[in-house]
Structure 1
Amino acid sequence: MEDPRGILEIAGKRIPPGKRMKIEIPIARLFDDTEMSMPVMVIRGRESGPVLFLSAAIHGDEINGVETIKRLLANKRINSKIKGTLIAMPIVNAYGFNSNSRYLPDRRDLNRCFPGSETGSLGGQIAHILMREIIEKSTHGIDLHTGAIHRTNLPQIRADLTDPETETLAKAFGVPVIIDSNTRDGSLRQAALEKGIPMLLFEGGEALRYEEKVIQTALMGILSVMESIGMIAPKERKRRKRPENVFIARTSYWVRAPHSGSLRVRVKLGAMVKEGQTLGVISDPYGSYMAKVKSHRTGIIIGMTMLPLLNQGDAMFHIAIFEDSEAVEERLEDFDDALDLNDGR
């Protein structure tokens, strides 16, 4: 919870209760002496409560989260009355965002640089600033991601479900699929967990694309989490999501290309596939050689390549394993239909 005295200071600026303030956190300078900064919007309620941070574009080409946070900041429920504090960081990796790149200028992955170092690499220094100014002052967090370049992901939550509070948040987000996922070394999620901050990672869509249903899903999920931790009042007409509508995968696997060539896909994202089912066909440029790509186990496709040109060993299909894959597929279809009837606001 917030400091009962109402003190919150970020990058040397004090934000009192009941105020909304845009802050530019200085990061470094470019070759031409242009100063780079991280844009942050802070919204504080008059009443004390949780401090929720939202981050997007840690990978600079993952832009669905940028649009999600933009819409959230314009949402009437956020701008009327909240308890506690919302700290929104729509563009964490400004370098990558401005160059349509996943990485920092030195080709480092910012999400492998946490908790960072004041005297380390550029990524380490940015991570250190983010931890000091934002993360360590928060009580909860949500990090928004998409698939890597030329890959798309089914909207999903990844979380370490060994922590009961994190599991509660994951279920509150409301997407049908939750992946029970250990943290990775150097990730923001690992650094937050080590500070005792429950945090979710949302995955959905493809890099360098705005995808309306993914954005709607993320926006509704964030609002649902804010309800669950008492930051905003629940909508009167909102139907509570039942626990059975959320499915947890404890394991997943990638199907990789057995040969180089071009891929013709025979399945779609979110579909259930059975063990031994043909997922696609790889062929050479002449069509004289064709190889069927088959699933190893029954599950749901939660990620797949969008690039049909493959080298041997390339990742093609990411399949999650559930106790009842048929029920998951049915729930995903219902969830998708519901999004068609909802504008996400």
Structure 2
Amino acid sequence: MERAQPLELFGHTILPGTRQRLNIPVVKLYTDTPIDLRMEVIHGRRKGPCLLVTAAIHGDELNGVEICRQILGHKNLSKIYGTLIVIPVVNQLGFIQQIRYLPDRRDLNRCFPGSSKGSLGGRLANLITTGIFPHVDYALDLHTGAIHRTNLPQLRTDLTNEKCVGLARAFGAPVILHSSLRDGSFRGAANEYNIPALVYEAGEALRLEQASIKLGLKGVMRVMRHLNMLPKKPVKTPAIQPWECNQSQWLRSSRDGLVLLHIKQGHLVKEGETMMTIVNPFDATDSESITAPFDGVVIGLSQLPLANEGDALVHLAKVSSTLADTEYDQEVIEEVLDLGIAQLPVPENQEYQ
């Protein structure tokens, strides 16, 4: 295997076979306190791909931060081929304040590729796109649901891109959802640099959820083995064979009231099945049911049992009729969330919908 060359990053030289923590100045608070973009770079002795792993682009999304911490403590990184760049907290200002956004209420994930003379979010995005992306071959961006919303562990990527599909299947999350590129997003900017990118969504904001973290850590390590960045090892248990879905929809409340859910995260539901009932808290006879518009799997839920008209309550990913007829037990998804290694009941020749 060819030996790696030194890596030049933000004026720092990282030699092959070394790891280095970099603190790249971003901005100062009005108290003159510096805020840095902190990252760790593991540069292998042998040549290989460069993988970028980021978390907390939204400052209140914590599962990815812990996944990054555990990645950096993994004993196998000394054997790496290529380069691993890990940024545990991209949005330091939001992280400090325990909020999703930047102090000016901008969403950092709508600021890419950014500008060196733009808003704070634009400047931070520009630092990543111009300083890091030119070195990167693949990217994993770690997220959770918003406050009061939880996501089934899932990947979002471009299912028309063969490299993205290969990465997603190697990762092993329960669901892979086709997601179009959004202007201003990290993934959209990565695409402009021809970087195949996955977004891992799991859990809820401002929570550390061990099942989502464990599955995410295993997924990142599987991707590294898929890219031949780490030695292959015998697989004792098959990786998850995911549901691959091409369409999803948030089901919204048709009225205000209390929300009585009849489904759980990961449930397969049939078209027309009652998923929730909205009830009037002051009238025991006044209620309205909401049914599934198509056969699907529940990939996101509101955790708040109160709803105003139009509130998003259940995120449903569409599956083929063949998939919906699969014999299914809720215990399977619970095993996935508990262990991060279970096999899902998915036919080999599933169709995208």
TM-score (norm 1): 0.93
Query: How far 1:229 moved relative to its partner?
Result: 0.5
Contact 2:200 / 2:216 at 8 angstroms: preserved in 1?
Answer: yes
Per the alignment, do residues 173 and 330 of structure 1 end up closer, same or farther by CA in structure 2, a change over 3 Å counting? farther
Aligned equivalents of 2:327, 2:139: Cα separation in 1: 28
Matched, 1:309 2:301: no
Query: How far 1:13 moved relative to its partner?
Result: 1.3
Corresponding residue for 1:8?
7
Percent identical residues: 45
Most deviating of 197-206 and 285-294: 285-294
Aligned equivalents of 1:143, 1:224: Cα separation in 2: 15
Aligned-partner residue type, residue 26 of structure 2: I
Query: How far 1:293 moved relative to its partner?
Result: 1.9
Contact 2:21 / 2:39 at 8 angstroms: preserved in 1?
Answer: yes
Aligned-partner residue type, residue 314 of structure 1: D
Residue of 214, 217, 220 corresponding to 1:219: 217
Aligned equivalents of 2:53, 2:80: Cα separation in 1: 15
Aligned equivalents of 1:100, 1:309: Cα separation in 2: 23
Contact 1:27 / 1:37 at 8 angstroms: preserved in 2?
Answer: yes
Q: How large is the Cα RMSD of the aligned pairs?
A: 2.1
TM-score (norm 2): 0.91
Query: How far 1:157 moved relative to its partner?
Result: 0.7
Aligned-partner residue type, residue 251 of structure 1: Q
1:137-152 equivalence runs, <5 A: 137-152=135-150
Matched, 1:119 2:117: yes
Most deviating of 227-236 and 50-59: 227-236
Per the alignment, do residues 151 and 339 of structure 1 end up closer, same or farther by CA in structure 2, a change over 3 Å counting? closer
Matched, 1:105 2:128: no
Corresponding residue for 1:73?
72
Residue of 202, 205, 230 corresponding to 1:204: 202
Aligned-partner residue type, residue 53 of structure 1: L
Contact 1:146 / 1:207 at 8 angstroms: preserved in 2?
Answer: yes
Aligned residues: 339
Deviations along 1:93-125, one digit per CA (max 9) or x if unpaired, are 000111110000000000000000010111100
Aligned equivalents of 2:328, 2:74: Cα separation in 1: 31
Per the alignment, do residues 319 and 81 of structure 1 end up closer, same or farther by CA in structure 2, a change over 3 Å counting? same
Question: Gaps spanning 5+ residues in structure 1: where?
Answer: none
Contact 2:4 / 2:46 at 8 angstroms: preserved in 1?
Answer: no
Per the alignment, do residues 122 and 257 of structure 1 end up closer, same or farther by CA in structure 2, a change over 3 Å counting? same
Aligned equivalents of 1:104, 1:111: Cα separation in 2: 10
Corresponding residue for 1:261?
257
Aligned equivalents of 1:59, 1:248: Cα separation in 2: 26
1:1-345 equivalence runs, <5 A: 6-78=5-77, 80-241=78-239, 245-288=241-284, 289-323=286-320, 324-326=322-324, 330=328, 333-334=331-332, 336-337=334-335, 340-341=338-339
Aligned-partner residue type, residue 279 of structure 1: M
Question: Gaps spanning 5+ residues in structure 2: where?
Answer: 342-353
